[in-house]
Amino acid sequence: MKINLYTFKTILSLPLIFLSLATNFSFAHDIPKPSINSGVIVVYDNAFNSLSGNGLSIDNTDIASSFILTYPISPSISFEIGALTGFKSSATISTSKSGTLHGKPYSTDGALTLKAKTSTSYLSGIKLSSSANKPLNIHAKTGLFFWEVDFSSSGNATLTYNGSSYNSQSFLKVDGSDPFLGIGLSYKTSVKSMLNLDYYTLASTNAIEGAAFDFNGYSISWSINF
C-alpha cells in the first residue's frame, strides 16, 4: 500500500496536534487500564456515488463489526489499533447504460449489478478523551485506515470498463491507506466496562486507479478493561 506525500505529512502532524490539545485536559489522575472494544458499525459506502441517471439503483449501506485495542499513555491520550470486518455496496443498472465510473468510461449492453466489496480493514491511531474519571466522556479519534476494495460485475450483460470487457467478474481491485476522523461519547457502566457511541468519516486523499475510498459510519460498542 502506497502512502502519498500529503497523507504522510498529515499522519506525522496528527500526534503533534493531539499533544497540543491535550494540555486543555486533566492529567491529575491515574492512567486508565488498557481495554478491548467490540461492536457494530453502520457503514455508508460512497463507492458508486459518481453514477447517476435513470435505470440506476444504489445500495450504499451495510453493517460491519469492529474490534479495537485501546492502550492509554495518559488519562487523556490513548493509542488504538483495530480491525473492521468487510462490507459492501452495490449499484443495480436495469438497462443498457454508459457514463463515467472512477474517472474512466464504462458501458453496459443490458441489466447488471456492480459491487464494491471492502475486505477486512485495519486502523491505527490516537484517541483523545475529556476525562477518564467521570461517567460521561467525550472523545475524538484520528489515525490511518488501511483498506482494500474489489469492484466486480454480475448478471448476464457485459460491462465494458476503460476499454476492456467483463462478464460477471472483477474489473478493478485497489488498496491504500488514508486518514480517518472520529468523534463520540462513552458512558461508564461499571468500573471495568463502558458503552461507546461513535461517528467515523474517511475521505480518500489519493485516488488509486481513479477509485477514491470514501465512507462514513455510526458505531455502538462495548469496552472492557483488563
What is the pLDDT tens value at each position of the chain, 226 positions in all? 444 555 545 545 555 555 555 444 444 457 889 999 999 999 999 999 889 888 999 999 999 999 999 999 988 899 999 999 999 999 999 999 999 999 899 999 999 999 999 999 999 999 999 865 678 999 999 999 999 999 999 999 999 999 999 999 999 999 999 999 999 999 999 989 999 999 999 977 777 888 888 999 999 999 999 8
* Rounded distance between C-alpha atoms, residue 226 and residue 219, angstroms: 22
Q: Which residues pair with 16 in a beta bridge?
A: none
Say which DSSP state 140 is in.
Answer: E
Q: The C-alpha cell of 64 is what?
A: 460491519
Helix, coil or strand: residue 15: helix
Is the Cβ–Cβ distance between 142 and 126 less than 8 Å? yes
* Rounded distance between C-alpha atoms, residue 4 and residue 23, angstroms: 31
The full set of domain ranges for the chain reads 5-225
Cβ contacts of 178 within 8 Å, gap of 6 or more: 7, 144, 145, 147, 202, 203, 204, 205, 206, 213
CATH label, 5-225, candidates 3.40.50.360, 3.40.50.150, 2.40.160.20, 2.40.50.140? 2.40.160.20
